[in-house]
């Protein structure tokens, strides 16, 4: 047998063995990084969630200070309340419909440049956040850190709001105002698509 054939054979056997690994328990406190990463990517895992969370940032940017930072603070806080309800097994009716409606409603707010009082804006955003939190809160994979999952989850949501705020800054340019409102319209339209799927 030639040398290169033998090398290929050994490599093939090696690769085959890697398919069936024997357990190697290398860490006591396992799942730390995995928990954080799972939480971080969770809010990005569904387009309906992304639309609503970005819309919060867009609306905040459109409304200006203090809504610019108050709304992205209210959303994660109330989202945690929703997640807690989910963790405790307390049902929230129409979660999927609520998520889709949140994209529609927040998109319309941006499209129509609705300027309610600060408290009303907080209630609107907080109300919808509960649906998003409930949908995501219970999905910690086995063996991962609950705390780091939670932290990643909050951070991921905050990043989405940040993306919305950054995009929303175009509001301060003449053409940007119209573009931002159009973006809100697109979000509302996509929300309608998700709403259709949620109710059918």
Provide the minimum distance between the beta carbon of 105 and other proteins in the complex, in angstroms, as a whole number: 22
Q: Are 167 and 68 in contact (CB under 8 A)?
A: no
CA-based nearest residue to 101, from 63, 54, 48, 138: 48
Nearest residue (CB) to other proteins, 63 versus 79: 79
Nearest residue (CB) to other proteins, 62 versus 80: 80
Provide the minimum distance between the beta carbon of 19 and other proteins in the complex, in angstroms, as a whole number: 11
Sign of CA dihedral 94, 86, 59, 164: negative
Contact residues for other proteins, defined by CB under 8 A: 3-4, 6-7, 10-11, 13-14, 17-18, 21-29, 32, 69, 72-73, 76-77, 79-81, 83-84, 86-89, 137, 140, 146-148, 150-151, 153-155, 158
Residues 174, 64: Cα–Cα separation, whole Å? 16
Provide the minimum distance between the beta carbon of 69 and other proteins in the complex, in angstroms, as a whole number: 5
Residue 109 buriedness (CB in 10 A; 0-12 / 13-18 / 19+): buried
Nearest residue (CB) to other proteins, 14 versus 91: 14
Provide the minimum distance between the beta carbon of 181 and other proteins in the complex, in angstroms, as a whole number: 25
Place of tokens 């009082």: 117
Nearest residue (CB) to other proteins, 24 versus 119: 24
Nearest residue (CB) to other proteins, 69 versus 173: 69
C-alpha angle with apex 104: 101 to 105, nearest 5 degrees?
Answer: 85
Provide the minimum distance between the beta carbon of 93 and other proteins in the complex, in angstroms, as a whole number: 19
CA-based nearest residue to 98, from 68, 66, 133, 65: 133
Residues 161, 120: Cα–Cα separation, whole Å? 19
Provide the minimum distance between the beta carbon of 46 and other proteins in the complex, in angstroms, as a whole number: 19
Q: Which two tokens stand for residue 47?
A: 């387009």
Nearest residue (CB) to other proteins, 18 versus 175: 18
- Cβ partners under 8 Å of residue 76, min gap 6: 129, 154, 157, 158
């Amino acid at each position: 047998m030639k040398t290169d054939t033998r090398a290929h054979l050994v490599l093939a056997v090696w690769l085959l063995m890697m398919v069936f690994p024997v357990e190697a328990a290398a860490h006591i406190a396992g799942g730390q990084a995995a928990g954080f990463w799972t939480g971080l990517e969770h809010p990005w895992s569904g387009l309906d969630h992304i639309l609503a969370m970005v819309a919060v940032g867009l609306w905040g940017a459109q409304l200006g200070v203090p809504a610019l930072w108050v709304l992205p603070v209210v959303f994660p806080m109330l989202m945690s309340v929703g997640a807690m309800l989910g963790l405790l097994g307390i049902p929230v009716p129409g979660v999927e419909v609520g998520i889709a409606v949140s994209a529609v409603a927040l998109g319309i707010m941006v499209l129509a440049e609705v300027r309610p009082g600060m408290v009303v804006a907080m209630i609107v955003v907080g109300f919808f956040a509960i649906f998003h939190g409930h949908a995501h809160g219970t999905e910690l994979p086995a063996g991962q850190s609950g705390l780091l999952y939670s932290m990643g989850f909050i951070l991921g949501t905050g990043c989405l709001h940040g993306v919305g705020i950054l995009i929303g800054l175009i509001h301060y340019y003449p053409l940007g105002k119209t573009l931002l409102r159009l973006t809100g319209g697109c979000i509302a339209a996509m929300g309608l698509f998700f709403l259709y799927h949620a109710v059918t």
